[in-house]
Structure 1
Amino acid sequence: MRQVEWNGVYPAVTTKFKANGELDIPTFLKNIEFQVKAGIDGVVIGGSLGESSTITHDERLELAKAVLESVGAKIDVILNVAEGATHNAIELIQRASEIGVHGIMLLPPMMYKPTDEEVLEYFISIAQSTQLPIMIYNNPVDYKIEVTIEMFGQLKEIENINAVKESTRDISNVTRMKNHFGDRFKILCGVDTLAMEELLMGADGWVAGLVDAFPAETVAVYRLVKAGRIDEALKIYRWFLPILELDISPQLVQNIKLAEVITGIGTEHVRAPRQALKGDERLRVLAILEKGLATRPQLPDYLNI
């Protein structure tokens, strides 16, 4: 079993579709190849950006298998699990384990506002059903369920719950987690617009969105920060921020897929009920992207620092 370190940049990759709605595996893998060349450390498949709510278990496993066969020896391949029933999550994770997935990103129970006790039992039952390492996704802003410090205090006893995707939008939560648990949980920022700030506060990694279109710039920011070259990272990050803000939108999938088109490593096809951007909103997003491309910074040799 591959040892997942939960360090570095983990793109939350988009799911590529053909115009008829079928999976587009060649285009999906083209994007993955660009990510790997830029120096990413792993990918998260079938997350919110991967249009999790519209793809089947079979499809997300097909995507994972394609990545495992293509670059699985080079990067961590993490499958997102967002289910409403414990047994459905366990079944999906068992199938993921059978094809060789390296780890799991696990959301609280979906489609129902559970109690803290129910969330904990869900996480613990699933973790005990598998040997795969697990990263908990803590996003109370979008999913209305917070995994609190007290809850993590109970989860720390579960050996294969190793990390958290920190999306509370509260930068102080990085320090709060470090103060309570030291290095027991790896912390990966899950909000593009707070990434450099959370890395400076000690976050171990970045589950990124706009990396799907701008992989080199994303990895450069991460590696420069970790190398202590803050001024260089900040210059890139300040250029990047107007683009990164496209991640904190209800249309983040459409925004980022349009960005992938602009940078030549994706398509805009989405699954209904989503629709591609149009009208004034499309023009607004295009203007942000085009300005960014026109002023794209020269990157240092970040892969060798």
Structure 2
Amino acid sequence: MNVTVRWEGVYPALLTPFTADDQVDLPLFEKNLYAQLEAGVHGFIIGGSLGEASTLLNHEKMAMLPSALAVCAGKVPVLINIAEQATRQAIACAQEAEANGADGLMLLPPMRYPADARETVTFFKSVAKGTSLPIMIYNNPYDYKIMTTVAMFEELAELPNIQAVKESTRDLTNVTRMRNAFGDRFKLMGGVDTLALEALLLGCDGWVGGLVDAFPNETVAIYELAKAGQIAEALDIYRWFMPLLELDIHPKLVQYIKLAAQATGIGSEHVRAPRLPLVGAEREQVLSIIETALAKRPALTSVN
């Protein structure tokens, strides 16, 4: 039976760990999940951009689903990312995810083709009509060059299973723009680590995180403190976190965050080609950011 997706709280965009011989490392995947559950995250997303969706085979993505469902044991929902290019393939992937027990979907536009508004809305609607699972639209024009506008969401609001938005426009005014247009019709999840606290304070319901894969306790603490109105305490952790959060907005975010997860003992730096592990001065620079943060890791404040 599916777990209800409430679209609130911290949802890690999960890393896909690989072995040295380029196989999905399910034991390490599960170790990371357990660490995040212990920290109190509220859901998981398999196979997103940070999960190296562009190089994952569909059967690999689907192989992680039963592992995640077994680890979560109904405690939190497990979502799969849909990033296929052809509408027919996206529908088929959504239906396969549903048949195999996924609780919800994150849905990207067809990125390799710069679809116009009519095409993008038709794509989203077609996938939504092909499944009963709840859907979060990933709105990231910065990286994927397609903006899902308020006018487009007015059309998408007709479909009840399109329920949430991963807000990654990097324009914080869009949070208010969406609230003004739709009230609570769509749940809003901040999707940019370096704007996460600001997005929560502007009214986002949750945070789809990247550095949470390495630092789950700190991520959950910021969310809980912000929602409890303990802004000063949240800000203290956020300021410490910022040099790490900036690793999320670089083209090599996968390598950077995997290196951080390795440093905290819940990941490895193995990536899938054409990505390559970091070397030389670049690796030393990123390690320095991580090690400096670990040396100054703050004591976490409890929610009053």
Q: Structure 2-normalised TM-score?
A: 0.98
1:296 maps to which residue? 297
Q: In structure 2, what is the Cα distance between the partners aligned to 1:99 and 1:37?
A: 25
2:74 maps to which residue? 73
- Conservation of the 8 A alpha-carbon contact between 2:111 and 2:146: no
1:278 equivalent to 2:289? Answer: no
**3-state SS, counterpart of residue 187 of structure 1:** strand
1:146 maps to which residue? 147
1:259 maps to which residue? 260
Letter in 2 for 1:28: F
1:238 maps to which residue? 239
2:35 maps to which residue? 34
CA RMSD of aligned residues (A): 0.8
- Conservation of the 8 A alpha-carbon contact between 2:189 and 2:206: yes
- Conservation of the 8 A alpha-carbon contact between 2:47 and 2:80: yes
Instruction: Measure how far apart 1:2 and its partner are.
Output: 2.3
1:58 maps to which residue? 59
1:132 equivalent to 2:123? Answer: no
Q: In structure 1, what is the Cα distance between the partners aligned to 2:288 and 2:162?
A: 42
1:205 maps to which residue? 206
1:101 maps to which residue? 102
- Conservation of the 8 A alpha-carbon contact between 2:111 and 2:145: no
1:48 maps to which residue? 49
Give the unaligned 5+ runs of structure 1.
Answer: none
1:182 maps to which residue? 183
1:167 maps to which residue? 168
State the number of aligned residues.
Answer: 303
Q: In structure 1, what is the Cα distance between the partners aligned to 2:209 and 2:168?
A: 11
**3-state SS, counterpart of residue 207 of structure 1:** strand
Give the unaligned 5+ runs of structure 2.
Answer: none
Deviates more, 1:63-72 or 1:173-182: 63-72
Which aligned pairs between 1:76-87 and structure 2 lie closer than 5 A?
76-87=77-88
**3-state SS, counterpart of residue 162 of structure 1:** strand
Deviation per CA, 1:88-126: give whole Å up to 9, x if none.
011111111111100000000121111110100001011
- Conservation of the 8 A alpha-carbon contact between 2:83 and 2:109: yes
Q: In structure 1, what is the Cα distance between the partners aligned to 2:110 and 2:272?
A: 23
Letter in 1 for 2:229: G
Instruction: Measure how far apart 1:35 and its partner are.
Output: 0.3
Q: In structure 1, what is the Cα distance between the partners aligned to 2:234 and 2:57?
A: 39
Letter in 1 for 2:302: D
- Conservation of the 8 A alpha-carbon contact between 2:109 and 2:120: yes
- Conservation of the 8 A alpha-carbon contact between 2:10 and 2:42: yes
**3-state SS, counterpart of residue 240 of structure 1:** helix
Which aligned pairs between 1:113-128 and structure 2 lie closer than 5 A?
113-128=114-129
**3-state SS, counterpart of residue 260 of structure 1:** helix
Q: Percent identity?
A: 57
Letter in 2 for 1:98: A
**3-state SS, counterpart of residue 244 of structure 2:** helix
Instruction: Measure how far apart 1:82 and its partner are.
Output: 0.4
Q: Structure 1-normalised TM-score?
A: 0.98
Q: In structure 2, what is the Cα distance between the partners aligned to 1:27 and 1:301?
A: 29
Q: In structure 2, what is the Cα distance between the partners aligned to 1:259 and 1:72?
A: 27
Letter in 2 for 1:246: L
1:24 maps to which residue? 25
Instruction: Measure how far apart 1:253 and its partner are.
Output: 0.2
1:196 maps to which residue? 197
Q: In structure 2, what is the Cα distance between the partners aligned to 1:71 and 1:258?
A: 25
Q: In structure 2, what is the Cα distance between the partners aligned to 1:71 and 1:204?
A: 21
2:269 maps to which residue? 268
